[in-house]
Structure 1
Amino acid sequence: MMHRNLILFTVILFLFANATAQTATPGADNQTAEAGTKRMQWWTDARFGMFLHWGLYSEAAGDWKGKPYRGNEHFMLYEKIPWKEYGSVLGHRFNPQKFDADAWVRMARDAGMKYVVITAKHHDGFAMYNSPSSDYNIVKQTPFAKDPLKAIAAACQKYGLRFCIYYSLGRDWQDPDVPTNWPVKGGRSNTWDYPDEDAKVLTRYLERKVKPQLRELLTQYGEIGIVWFDTFELVTPRQSEALKKLVLSIQPNCIVNNRIGGGFGDYTVMEQEIGNAIRTRPWESCITMSGMWGYNRYDSVWKSPELLVRQLTEIVSKGGNYLLNVGPKGDGSFPDQAITRLSVLGKWMRINGEAIYGTTPWKTAGELPDTIAIATHTAASNSMKDVLNDATSKHIFPEIRFTAKKNVVYVFANSMHEKQVAVKALGKASGEKIKSVSMLGSGKKVKWQQKATALILPLPPLTNTNVNVNVFKVVLEEQVSNTKRQIIN
């Protein structure tokens, strides 16, 4: 009887332990690799998103007390403006009567973008939403007195885009407890209002402001696609882990970038640069459309639509996502230059989007024609950036880019002016057998020829267009292994 009871006890203990293991694994809070991949799938497929830097600095638009300032959206730091003065002067002026969330999100959708990331709180500490835990927000401090994030979230739901929020984590120039150490001790801290750097206790800031505001952002606007953290600075790995758990406890399907710190991000951010090679882990390039992140009336450096498309093709060919920034004006409207570029991007994406969405890198990211010799653009080595930090190449030169989807290879002929292009990676010597070739957006038959050294593709005559990027869809013969052949035979 005792033996039988012992066996029964052992069985019960085993079943209990097994059940406990199933419910107590990291997968319960979406930390397993499988769960993480599932959370990331929409983002991996999307490839293209809109970044929006909008805040009190947009109202300043380049001037403070009648003079141009330094530091653009960081000018509160550069000019050492007391936070109460900064918030009072700009807060009383901020009344964006031209703000139209529907128009903003519709422009993003029409440009081919799949998600929108909006600055909920930038380094100045001012909340651009209704924050019950902090009166230093757009509803309480401005004549606008509305919550723009609520309208943007609703528009994203209407147009099928993911609504995502930016949150400055390790910098906050309104709070007294935020020390920094870049590029030197106190280098990005508010030392004019709070001069004693050693008296600052980061934990107090995290408990008093960060965690309450994250709870607000994750509960007031429906589903959040990404919490896009910035500048973790002195946040410890343990604190980063606690923040990640907080996010997932409220929204289990939300993803976060690596700027949460401590290695707890779901993907890596490259700011104002593009890597030189294919990266196997998820990554994203966030890049300005002009020279600056926030709107500045003196900003005159705007990338051409063709350069923006080339950046998109380069990033996606290397396995990344392209988060393209727009800085709305203080009145709530988009700059005309941004509207024009978004329109051109949209026209190109409506024809060629299938070569972007849901694709993966091919065996090579790209190649140059034999007649072209361009030095590889070296990415900046410092991962922490500030203000004017655009390290992306501005060169327009002929190149070929590749993406893939199952047995299809998409060939991007970027800025080509010849009558044909030779694609060396698809020559017969590569071992690839080609089933068919077509050009996206064209109903005409493509007369292609696969030679030993290259696949020869005819290029259409140049027309009066802003974007000289043609995309060919190359369908490969599916390779049948010897084992399969034996089974078939």
Structure 2
Amino acid sequence: MKRIITLAIFVLSSCFWVNAGTDGGTKENKSEISNKLTWWEDAKFGMFIHWGLYSKTAGYWKDRKATGFEHFMLYERIPWKEYATIANDFNPVNYNAEEWVLTAKNAGMKYLVITAKHHDGFALFDSPSSDYDIVDCTPYAKDPMKELSAACHKHGIRLGFYYSLGRDWQDPDVPTNWPVKGGRSNTWDYPDEDKKVFNKYFERKVKPQVRELLTQYGKVDVLWFDTPGLISEAESEELRNFILTIQPECIINSRIGNGKGDYNVHEQNIVQKGDTSPWESCITMSRNWGFVAYDTAYKSPELMIRQLLEIVSKGGNFLLNNGPTAKGDMTEQTLISLEKIGEWMKLNAEGVYGTQPWHVANERLDNKISEHTLQKHDDKNTMKDAVNDATSRQIFPEVRFTSKGENVYAYVCSLESSEVCIKSLAADKAGKIESVEWLGRADKVEWKQTELGLILNMSANPIDEIPVAGFRIKFGKSNR
């Protein structure tokens, strides 16, 4: 039956591809792309979810810790048919899409991106063009993306699908060239790299499955491709045109390849001086992307809020990842952290959503530094796919700035003293300040602007697990 459906999809897809030819009918100008990105650039904060067959093994393989975590099929060189047997026991009986979506929404997140197909080639959705999917291979036998898309649409959370583009360890036609020829390929099932033709995989699997994702779940706001690999420029452009033919408002990340995406991706990294193009940092809450049972090294809510503010102050978006269990539960620490982040966002989000960078991104308040207690990575671990978090663990007193309309927002981070002098807000540097208000609080702020800076009395600030206080600052009309 699936072969018949696949043929039908191919025919329909061919029609779409004819419409998306080289006449430029689906091409957008810069203004149209900018308008399409408006909601995304205003959103600032999203949830990334890595979930799949690797969640079932939870970091183990054959009763020992696996090499490669969610990439262990590659590092352990497991034949895909053996790896596929994991699906026999993949049964997320606790999965509740509405709970996931509300968890994201209550944390202040505005969009959600989930791994519809990771590098192992397994589709976490009902894929009529392939039998290697959650409906056909697991006792769960349902499409979790259907429930998730419905919950996102119901609760106003924008929906994004992750799709591994340049790697697929189940397919025989996906060559790679990093870090060496065949370095990320399935060379144990399919050893001859020279016989692999990316375009065969592109036509047989990528195009039908991308079409399925864009036609089975209503509005899709983001297609988040990973590792473009050896996709050609012509194929990247063809894929972009196809997506826009079906869903013109869909945003596409840079990993579609060859400069054809709408925004840049920085993985496990925050740019030092900002990126003038639209950009996003995707970062893990713990050490890994997928669920690993022995991974208990989570970032603190304070550190994650500081990461959010650093990213937003530099003009980017923060896509914060978690890896649910095979049963469909978000981990206890994930839920605790997101609840605390949500409490902070309810008070302070005004200076996050819809903001722009100010002319100063941050100001260091003193040289006192403490190291966050997240476990250090093993220096001997040479893997580049899984444990590669390059974000800072340092916590120190600083101020982060954003702006929106007439307002400048100052977030005083990790300060232990009762008074702060913000030099960047001295009158000769910033202009005359008209008013200063707490974010999310009715209390009056004790402040004065001097030639040294803006002096704030912080003694009224309640000390909690996220010691980051937000202020709304208005300037006199001559300084607006």
AA aligned opposite 1:145:
A
2:213 to 214, 217, 221: 217
Q: Please show how residues 23-422 of structure 1 align to structure 2 within 5 Å.
A: 28-29=25-26, 31-88=28-85, 90-372=86-368, 385-422=384-421
2:422 aligns with: 423
- Structure 2 SS opposite 1:67: coil
Deviation at 1:259, TM superposition (A): 0.6
**Please, what is the CA RMSD of the aligned residues?**
1.8
Distance 1:66 1:121 in 2: 26
Asked if the contact 1:27–1:35 (Cα under 8 Å) also holds between the matched residues in 2, the reply is no
AA aligned opposite 2:290:
G
Residues 252-282 of structure 1: CA distance to partner in whole angstroms, max 9, x if unpaired?
0001111111101100000001111132210
Distance 2:328 2:425 in 1: 48
Aligned CA distance change for structure 1 residues 146 and 373 (closer, same or farther; 3 Å):
closer
AA aligned opposite 2:395:
I
Asked if the contact 2:313–2:362 (Cα under 8 Å) also holds between the matched residues in 1, the reply is yes
Deviation at 1:463, TM superposition (A): 4.2
Asked if the contact 1:30–1:36 (Cα under 8 Å) also holds between the matched residues in 2, the reply is no
Distance 1:432 1:67 in 2: 62
Asked if the contact 1:355–1:403 (Cα under 8 Å) also holds between the matched residues in 2, the reply is yes
Residues 393-415 of structure 1: CA distance to partner in whole angstroms, max 9, x if unpaired?
01111111000001100001000
1:484 aligns with: none
Deviation at 1:447, TM superposition (A): 1.6
Asked if the contact 1:278–1:361 (Cα under 8 Å) also holds between the matched residues in 2, the reply is no
- Structure 2 SS opposite 1:354: helix
Question: Mind listing any 5+ residue stretches in structure 1 that lack a counterpart?
Answer: 1-23, 376-383, 482-489
Residues 63-89 of structure 1: CA distance to partner in whole angstroms, max 9, x if unpaired?
11211101000000010111111112x
Distance 1:27 1:422 in 2: 55
Deviation at 1:202, TM superposition (A): 0.4
Distance 1:347 1:423 in 2: 26
1:446 aligns with: 445
AA aligned opposite 2:65:
P
Aligned positions, number: 449
Asked if the contact 1:435–1:477 (Cα under 8 Å) also holds between the matched residues in 2, the reply is yes
- Structure 1 SS opposite 2:209: helix
Distance 1:35 1:25 in 2: 19
Distance 1:412 1:26 in 2: 49
Distance 1:212 1:199 in 2: 22
- Structure 2 SS opposite 1:473: strand
Aligned CA distance change for structure 1 residues 51 and 183 (closer, same or farther; 3 Å):
same
Deviation at 1:441, TM superposition (A): 2.0
Distance 1:417 1:102 in 2: 39
Asked if the contact 2:111–2:157 (Cα under 8 Å) also holds between the matched residues in 1, the reply is yes
Distance 2:330 2:175 in 1: 34
Deviation at 1:164, TM superposition (A): 0.4
Deviation at 1:453, TM superposition (A): 2.1
Asked if the contact 1:30–1:252 (Cα under 8 Å) also holds between the matched residues in 2, the reply is no
AA aligned opposite 1:331:
K
Distance 1:259 1:25 in 2: 22
AA aligned opposite 2:421:
A
Distance 2:262 2:69 in 1: 30
Normalising by structure 2, we get a TM-score of 0.91
Distance 1:220 1:281 in 2: 31
Asked if the contact 2:370–2:394 (Cα under 8 Å) also holds between the matched residues in 1, the reply is no
Asked if the contact 2:399–2:412 (Cα under 8 Å) also holds between the matched residues in 1, the reply is yes
Runs of 4 or more, structure 1, over 6 Å off, are 24-27
Asked if the contact 1:407–1:478 (Cα under 8 Å) also holds between the matched residues in 2, the reply is no
Asked if the contact 1:95–1:331 (Cα under 8 Å) also holds between the matched residues in 2, the reply is yes
1:466 aligns with: 465
Normalising by structure 1, we get a TM-score of 0.89
Aligned CA distance change for structure 1 residues 86 and 373 (closer, same or farther; 3 Å):
closer
Aligned CA distance change for structure 1 residues 208 and 371 (closer, same or farther; 3 Å):
closer
AA aligned opposite 2:259:
G
Distance 2:158 2:330 in 1: 20
Distance 2:335 2:41 in 1: 26
- Structure 2 SS opposite 1:64: coil
Question: Mind listing any 5+ residue stretches in structure 2 that lack a counterpart?
Answer: 1-20, 372-382
Distance 2:61 2:477 in 1: 63
Aligned CA distance change for structure 1 residues 480 and 344 (closer, same or farther; 3 Å):
closer
Distance 2:340 2:233 in 1: 43
AA aligned opposite 2:345:
M
Select the structure of larger CA radius of gyration.
Answer: 1
Residues 127-148 of structure 1: CA distance to partner in whole angstroms, max 9, x if unpaired?
0000000110000000000101
Using the TM superposition, name which of 417-426 and 115-124 deviates more: 417-426
